[in-house]
């Protein structure tokens, strides 16, 4: 049998919405046992967020929570807190995404849990981190990338910042750095036998997307101007690296950064002389960009893709909507996996997480509290003790 690399790892997930659940989805897809602790009053708010299926189930929750189990506990009640303290002893990793101080007020913060279970790795994902003047400030992904300077670095020179459309801070700044921290702490634990507190700030993590540009700016100091959108090599300042509209309202991504690639683009356009000023600052470079804008706008996307077929010059179509589902490269990589969800009586296409080190299990997400009794019994609670908690499993599929 092919054993996944994280088989045997036990993760207790108290997080909600996107950053924590995506991190634990990756862990679950790699073989970890991930058990979600949810509030009895509705569970993860994502369960109620549209779009909803005909049965009223959130498609967003479904996409983030396969291969996990769910139990409900009222952590604000003494009985629920005590049950949690017994439960947590059996886990390797805890992930939570409350504002700083919430777990401490419940008596379940890092200090208390480390004293109880020294090998536990405790990962806290928050908007601004556990320290600093804004540690308790509310925010969402758009706010984090705005504060990190990432939002302000994209878009036209004299226009508005480019709305990212996807959750860069949540996934890139939160989920992925949480995974790095957890896996590093697991490696360290092999040597020391001790767990570690992993403080993940989504704003700090978002800043990493600006690392190359801002680190260079810091190195040059007063010799370099501040970063500005639409002017640098990789954010629209050069003709050979940008987006161009075609006559049918579609877009081409031209990533011909190196001269050998840009020369190929100019050759396809029938304008080899444009290479000379393609990397020039100021008006000369702007003229080349304007000419590319005019030329690409003369024909539809299909025409240009045919012209660039077989040419290794870093030009790709901007896929939109469901086009990504038909992309030959993505399909060949096995990112879309079809399975039958027997409890729901339907076939489902799963979007897999990018790193696959074996056959990804495709168990459907749990209904709220579906595994409460099972998980608590594994932690050593008797049926009588579980009944006293008053746990009610919400009706659902699974």
Residues 6+ apart with CB under 8 A from 5: 30, 31, 357, 358
Judging by DSSP bridges, how do beta strands 315-317 and 251-255 pair with one another? antiparallel
Task: Quickly count: other Cβ atoms within 10 Å of residue 347's Cβ.
Answer: 9
Q: Which tokens is 364 given?
A: 């459907």
Active site residue 114: no
**Contacts of residue 379, Cβ cutoff 8 Å, sequence gap at least 6:** 83, 86, 87, 89, 90
Contacts of 221 (CB under 8 A, 6+ apart): none
**Residue 331 near residue 319, CB atoms below 8 Å:** no
- Our answer to whether residue 322 is catalytic in this structure is no
Which residues, including other chains, have CB under 8 Å from residue 172's CB and lie 6 or more apart?
A: 205, 206, 208, 209
User: Exposed, middle or buried by CB within 10 Å (0-12, 13-18, 19+), for 138?
Assistant: exposed
State the Cα angle at 92 between 86 and 94, rounded to 5°: 75
Cβ proximity of 398 and 364 under 8 Å: yes
At residue 88, the 3 state secondary structure works out as: helix
Task: Name the catalytic one among 82, 114, 140, 299.
Answer: 140
Distance CA 178, CA 191 (A): 20
170, 204, 277, 341: which one is catalytic?
170
Distances (CA, A) of 366 to 93, 273, 338, 376: 20, 61, 19, 16
Question: Residue 140 in 3-state DSSP?
Answer: coil
Q: Which of 165-169's residues contact partners 24+ apart within 8 Å by CB, and which partners?
A: 167/18, 167/141, 168/141, 168/206, 168/209, 169/141, 169/142, 169/143, 169/144, 169/145, 169/202, 169/203, 169/205, 169/206
Query: E strands along the chain, which residues?
Result: 10-13, 33-38, 68-72, 93-96, 121-126, 197-201, 241-245, 251-255, 315-317, 336-341, 346-351
Active site (catalytic) residues: 140, 170
């Amino acid at each position: 049998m092919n054993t996944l690399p994280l088989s045997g790892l036990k993760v207790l997930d108290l997080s909600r919405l996107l950053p924590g659940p995506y991190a634990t989805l990756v862990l679950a897809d790699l073989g970890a046992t991930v058990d979600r602790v949810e509030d009895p009053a509705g569970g993860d708010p994502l369960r109620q967020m549209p779009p909803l299926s005909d049965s009223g189930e959130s498609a967003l929750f479904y996409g983030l929570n396969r291969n996990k189990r769910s139990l409900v506990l009222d952590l604000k009640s003494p009985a629920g807190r005590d049950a949690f303290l017994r439960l947590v002893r059996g886990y390797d990793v805890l992930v939570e995404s409350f504002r700083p101080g919430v777990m401490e007020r419940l008596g379940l913060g890092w200090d208390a849990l480390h004293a109880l279970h020294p090998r536990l790795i405790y990962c806290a994902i928050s908007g601004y981190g556990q320290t600093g003047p804004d540690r308790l400030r509310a925010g969402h992904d758009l706010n984090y990338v705005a504060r990190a300077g990432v939002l302000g670095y994209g878009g036209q020179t004299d226009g508005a910042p480019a709305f990212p459309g996807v959750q860069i801070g949540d996934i890139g700044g939160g989920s992925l750095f949480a995974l790095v921290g957890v896996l590093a702490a697991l490696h360290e634990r092999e040597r020391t036998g001790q767990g570690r507190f992993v403080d993940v700030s989504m704003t700090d993590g978002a800043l990493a997307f600006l690392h190359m540009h801002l680190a260079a700016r810091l190195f040059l100091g007063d010799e370099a101007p501040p970063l500005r959108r639409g002017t640098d090599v990789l954010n629209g300042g050069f003709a050979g690296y940008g987006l161009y509209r075609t006559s049918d309202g579609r877009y081409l991504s031209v990533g011909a950064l190196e001269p050998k690639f840009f020369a190929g683009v100019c050759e396809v356009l029938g304008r080899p002389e444009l290479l000379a000023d393609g990397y020039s600052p100021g008006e000369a470079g702007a003229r080349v960009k304007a000419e590319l804008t005019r030329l690409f706008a003369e024909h539809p996307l299909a025409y240009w893709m045919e012209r660039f077929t077989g040419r290794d010059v870093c030009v790709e179509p901007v896929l939109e909507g469901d086009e990504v589902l038909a992309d030959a490269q993505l399909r060949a990589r096995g990112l879309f996996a079809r399975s039958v969800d027997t409890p729901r009586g339907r076939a489902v296409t799963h979007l897999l997480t990018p790193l696959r080190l074996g056959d990804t299990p495709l168990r459907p997400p749990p209904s709220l509290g579906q595994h409460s009794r099972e998980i608590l019994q594994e932690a050593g609670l008797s049926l009588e003790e579980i009944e006293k908690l008053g746990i009610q499993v919400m009706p659902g599929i699974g």
